[in-house]
């Protein structure tokens, strides 16, 4: 029996029941692009979520646009046909039956679909003006806190352009516009003394210099070459069972079947961890791999370009931090926020094509423990919006979902126990696992992305469309 039978689905459940193809059948790509632009304007003008430590507010507008775009991608009916058959009002009503769309966003979607823009938000953002709220008032300040507002909603195009530079965040772009009157990348390039003040060092200098190249889509030929080179290089390393290392595309390369401006590669091994112990201490496969790739001239070195490596030694404290009894027993007001989780070793850097000499962003992620592979795959395949939806769903079930495992939050009223339905297929008795506070769900129940999605669907196949990564472009 369906675990959700007898009650209405939550908005998050409705979303996860959908498929999000890269290109849908109903001609909504211009609408999706407009909603993406609105999200980017909101992020660039307000700062990303939690960007201001003094004012911990969610960027609700950006979140709404991201969700609205996902809803449009997941629509199983045609806006065009609905507008013909039911008219504007009928279509708005139908949109309001979709998750996360109220009257305001439904109306906006119809306006953008019919006219290509939205007069009170998108058109104003594009002219560098502050948008209007649903009552027609100018939304001059982020977070609606007029008295301590430091972030005007004007100059959207300048802020979007500046924050697209690697190493320049939304908050830095906002300061450049309003404190230094810098309104484009070209203007920033003409002011080396201001660039120096940003303290980005050689990484920022390099990002600015090669910005256009780094924004270009990576040609399929180069993406293939990157994957092949990484795979062959890791398999030739002097590490335990080197031939057992795998390299696969995640990110846009997996959800869309083609790379965007970067290439995301996940490295994993059936038996080995991301690092091993030598007499000198832990050795990271990623470090050795990067050493070779830098030497071969494929990856730009730390002293030359953007280069961010994150490895952790605590992996070899046995057992893992999040499996330690001491952590499960630890109670704190902050819940599991104080937990030190292990993490996958990562590299964010610049690749130089052997074919064209052009530079491209590359992300390498090394799955830290073999059994965490499905969680690493799911998280690093994304998209960002889909990750947020899946993690919201996990919260609904009393679970934490990260890139490593499920952990019981144990923060519900009255009990610290969390019941997890790992299987509720028709014709079988449901299998329910009971977890204590901060106890991880044993990996034997989650051996694939499909298993994770089934747990999120309370043991059913309600979210099975998302098993295919090309349906994950939310």
CA-based radius of gyration for the chain: 24
Q: At closest approach, how far in Å is the CB of 49 from DNA?
A: 6
Among 61, 111, 264, 439, which residue interacts with DNA (rule: CB under 7 A)?
264
Determine, following the binding rule CB under 7 A, whether residue 100 of this chain makes contact with DNA. Answer: yes
Looking at the Cβ atoms of 99 and 459, the one nearer to DNA is 99
- Of residues 211 and 352, the one with the C-beta less far from DNA: 211
Check binding of 106 to DNA (CB under 7 A): yes
CA dist., res. 401 & res. 109, Å (int): 31
Q: Are the CB atoms for 328 and 439 separated by under 8 Å?
A: yes
Burial of 286 from C-beta contacts in 10 A (0-12 / 13-18 / 19+): buried
Contact window for DNA (CB under 7 A) among 21-29, 151-159, 284-292, 398-406 = 398-406
User: What token pair was written down for 20?
Assistant: 């999000």
Q: Which is nearer to DNA, 50 or 77 (CB)?
A: 50
Q: Which of 84, 104, 215, 415 touches DNA (CB under 7 A)?
A: 104
Give the range of 6-14, 118-126, 184-192, 441-449 binding DNA by CB under 7 A: 6-14
Helix, strand and coil percent figures for the chain, each rounded to 5? 45, 15, 40
Token representation of residue 365: 């992620």
Options 312, 376, 466, 474; binder of DNA; rule CB under 7 A:
312
| Closest separation in Å from C-beta 243 to DNA | 28
287 near DNA, rule: CB under 7 A: no
Q: Does 444 bind DNA (CB under 7 A)?
A: no
Helices (H), 138-199: 156-163, 170-180, 185-189, 192-197
Interatomic CA distance for residues 42 and 460, integer angstroms: 37
Contact 4, 458 (CB under 8 A): yes
Helices (H), 211-353: 211-215, 220-235, 252-255, 285-295, 325-329
Segment lying near DNA (by CB under 7 A), choices 16-24, 47-55, 186-194, 239-247: 47-55
In the set 22, 48, 287, 423, which binds DNA (CB under 7 A)?
Answer: 48
Cβ–Cβ under 8 Å, residues 352 and 298:
yes
**Packing angle of the helix pair 170-180, 29-46 (nearest 10 deg):** 60
From residue 301, alpha-carbon distances to 117, 172, 204, 311, 471 in Å are 43, 25, 14, 17, 36
Is residue 387 near DNA by the rule CB under 7 A? yes
Q: Which two tokens stand for residue 394?
A: 């996990």
Residue 438 Ramachandran class (φ > 0 left, ψ -120 to 50 alpha, else beta) = left
Min. distance of Cβ 338 from DNA in angstroms? 10
Quick one: 166 or 366, whose CB is closer to DNA? Answer: 166
- Residue number, 235 or 261, with CB nearest to DNA: 261
Closest separation between CB of residue 1 and DNA, Å?
20
Q: Is 329 left (phi over 0), alpha (psi -120 to 50) or beta?
A: alpha
Q: Is residue 215 involved in binding DNA (CB under 7 A)?
A: no
User: Least Å distance between CB 336 and DNA?
Assistant: 6
Cβ 16 to DNA, closest distance in Å? 12
Cα dihedral 236, 237, 241, 247 sign: negative
330 binds DNA (CB under 7 A): no
Q: Is 53 in the site for DNA (CB under 7 A)?
A: yes
Q: Which of 27, 87, 90, 102 binds DNA (CB under 7 A)?
A: 102
- Asked if 401 touches DNA (CB under 7 A), the answer is yes
Q: Is 117 in the site for DNA (CB under 7 A)?
A: no
Is 395 a binder of DNA (CB under 7 A)?
yes
CA distance 178 to 10: 42
Does 149 contact DNA by CB under 7 A? Answer: no
Q: Is 284 among the residues that bind DNA (CB under 7 A)?
A: no
* Dihedrals phi, psi of 119, to nearest 5 degrees: -65, -35
Please choose, from the candidates 130, 70, 118, 140, the residue with its C-alpha nearest in 3D space to the C-alpha of residue 98.
70
Nearer to DNA, 285 or 394 (CB): 394
Interaction between residue 64 and DNA (CB under 7 A): yes
With 0-12 CB in 10 A as exposed, 13-18 as middle and 19+ as buried, what is 349?
buried
Rank residues 235 and 309 by Cβ distance to DNA and give the closer one.
309
Q: Does 103 bind DNA (CB under 7 A)?
A: yes
Task: Give the total of residues touching DNA (CB under 7 A).
Answer: 56
By CB under 7 A, what part of segment 150-209 binds DNA?
166-172, 198
Q: For residue 19, which of 379, 466, 392 has the smallest C-alpha distance? A: 466
CB of 38 to DNA, least distance (A): 13
In angstroms, give the least distance from the CB of 339 to DNA.
7
- Does position 275 bind DNA by CB under 7 A? no
**46: its two tokens:** 């307000």
**Are 37 and 117 spatial neighbours (Cβ–Cβ below 8 Å)?**
no
Binding site for DNA (CB under 7 A): 10-12, 48-51, 53, 58, 60, 63-64, 99-106, 166-172, 198, 251, 262, 264, 308, 310-312, 336-337, 339-343, 348, 361, 363, 384, 387-388, 391-392, 394-395, 400-403
């Amino acid at each position: 029996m369906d675990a959700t039978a007898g009650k209405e689905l939550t908005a998050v459940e409705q979303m996860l029941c959908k498929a999000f193809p890269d290109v849908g059948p109903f001609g909504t790509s211009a609408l999706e692009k407009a909603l993406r632009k609105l999200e980017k304007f909101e992020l660039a003008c307000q700062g990303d979520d939690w960007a201001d430590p003094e004012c911990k507010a969610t960027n609700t507008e950006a979140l709404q646009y991201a969700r609205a775009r996902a809803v449009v991608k997941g629509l199983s009916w045609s806006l065009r046909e609905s507008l013909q058959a039911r008219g504007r009002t009928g279509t708005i009503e139908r949109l309001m039956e979709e998750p996360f769309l109220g009257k305001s966003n439904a109306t906006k979607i119809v306006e953008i679909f019919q006219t290509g823009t939205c007069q009170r938000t998108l058109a104003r953002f594009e002219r560098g003006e502050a948008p209007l709220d649903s009552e027609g008032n100018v939304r001059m300040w982020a977070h609606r806190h007029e008295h301590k507002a430091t972030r005007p909603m004007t100059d959207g195009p300048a802020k979007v352009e500046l924050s697209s530079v690697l190493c320049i965040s939304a908050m830095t772009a906002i300061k450049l516009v309003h404190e230094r009157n810098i309104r484009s990348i070209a203007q920033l390039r003409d002011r080396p003394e201001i660039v120096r003040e940003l303290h980005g060092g050689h990484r920022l200098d390099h990002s600015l210099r090669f910005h256009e190249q780094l924004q270009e889509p990576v040609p399929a030929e180069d993406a293939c070459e990157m994957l092949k080179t990484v795979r062959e290089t890791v398999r030739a390393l002097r590490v335990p069972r080197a031939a057992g290392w795998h390299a696969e595309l995640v990110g846009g390369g997996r959800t869309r079947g083609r790379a965007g401006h970067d290439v995301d590669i996940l490295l994993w091994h059936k038996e080995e961890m991301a690092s091993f112990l030598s007499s000198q201490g832990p050795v990271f496969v990623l470090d050795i791999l990067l050493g070779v790739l830098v030497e071969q001239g494929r990856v730009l070195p730390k002293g030359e370009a953007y280069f961010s490596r994150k490895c952790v030694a605590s992996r070899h404290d046995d057992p893992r931090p999040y499996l330690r009894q001491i952590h499960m027993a630890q109670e704190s007001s902050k819940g599991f926020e104080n937990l030190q989780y292990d993490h996958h070793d990562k590299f964010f850097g610049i690749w130089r094509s052997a074919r064209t000499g052009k530079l491209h962003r590359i992300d390498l992620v090394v799955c830290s423990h073999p059994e965490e592979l499905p969680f690493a795959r799911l998280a690093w395949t994304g998209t960002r919006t889909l990750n947020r939806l899946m993690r919201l769903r996990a919260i609904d079930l009393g679970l934490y979902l990260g890139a490593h495992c499920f952990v019981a939050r144990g923060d519900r009223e009255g009990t610290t126990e969390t019941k997890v339905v790992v299987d509720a297929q028709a014709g079988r008795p449901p299998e329910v696992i009971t977890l204590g506070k901060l106890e991880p769900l044993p990996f034997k129940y989650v051996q694939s992305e499909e298993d994770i999605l089934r747990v999120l669907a309370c043991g059913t196949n309600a979210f099975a469309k998302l098993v295919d990564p090309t349906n994950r472009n939310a």
